[in-house]
Homo-oligomer: A and B are copies of this chain.
Amino acid sequence: MPPDLVPGTPKYYLLKTEVLGLIAGLKPGTLIPTERALAEKYTTSRTTVRQAISELVAEGKLGRIQGHGTFVAPPKMTHVRQLTSFSDDARSQGLRPDSRMLALGVFTSDAGVAARLGLEPGDPVTRLERIRLIDEEPLAHEVAWLPGKLPRLKSHLATSGSLYAVMAEVYGLRVADVEDTVETALAGPEDVRLLGMEMGAPLLVVHRLARDAMGTPVEWTRSTFRGDRFRFVSRVKSGG
C-alpha cells in the first residue's frame, strides 16, 4: 500500500484508492479478489474492506452479487431529459427503451398533488406508475400525476407508448415548459425491489412540473433514478 501522504486519512479510504488502481483498465464484469482475500492481502479486517468496497459500489465503480463476487461495473449511461418523451430521447441515442406499467387509476387529489397541479383537494387526478427500462435494465421508477380523468388512457398508451404524445394528441395537454428539481436520496428496500440496486446506494430523485403554454400545470412527476448507473442531462435553450 502507498504511504499515507495526508496524515489522518482513514485506512478504508486508502484501501479504496488502492482498489481503484487495481481495477483501472479492467473490463466491466471482471471479478476482483474476495473481501476475505483483500483483508488478508492488505492486512486489515473484512469490515474495513467492506467499507471501502461499499463506497466504490455506491459510486457505480463496482458491483457485487451475494454468493458470486465483486466485479468491475459498466460505465454510467446518460439519460437526456428534454421536452420530448423518454422513449424518443432514448431511441435517438441508439438505446432500447421500454416501460413496465405498475398501476394506473383515477383518484381524488390530496393537498400536495392538488397544490402542484393547481387544483382543489378532492378534484379527480390520474395516477400513472411505471418502471422505465433501457436495454432491459431498470433505470427509473416514475409516479406521474395528471389533472382530470383521461378516459381510455391505458389503451392509448399501449398503442403509442409515449405519454407526452398521448397527452397532446388525445387530450390536448401540450407541454410548453418544465421545471426539474434534482436531489439525492439513499436506496431503501422499495428501491432495491423495484430497481434492483444496493441498499443505501445514492439515488437521484427528480421532481418534474410540466406546464402548457398558458402556464397551467399538466403533469407532476416524481422519478427515482439509480445514481450508480445513470447520469441525467437537461438542456436549456434561451427563448430568443
Contacts and interface: CB of A to CB of B under 8 A. Distances in A.
Interface of A: 6, 9-10, 13, 55, 58-59, 76, 78, 82-83, 175-186, 188-189, 199-200, 202-204, 213, 227-228, 230-240
A234 B236 contact: yes
Contact of A58 (B82, B186, B232, B238): B186
22 contacts: A6-B189, A13-B189, A13-B199, A55-B186, A55-B200, A59-B185, A82-B236, A83-B236, A176-B240, A178-B236, A179-B233, A179-B234, A180-B236, A182-B204, A182-B232, A182-B234, A183-B204, A183-B227, A183-B230, A183-B232, A236-B237, A239-B239
Contacts of A78: 181
A184 B204 contact: yes
Contact of A233 (B9, B55, B180, B232): B180
Given A179-B236, A184-B202, 15 more contacts: A13-B199, A55-B186, A58-B186, A58-B200, A76-B183, A83-B238, A175-B238, A176-B237, A176-B240, A177-B235, A186-B202, A202-B202, A202-B227, A236-B237, A237-B239
B227 A213 contact: no
A189 B204 CA distance: 23
Contacts of A13: 188-189, 199
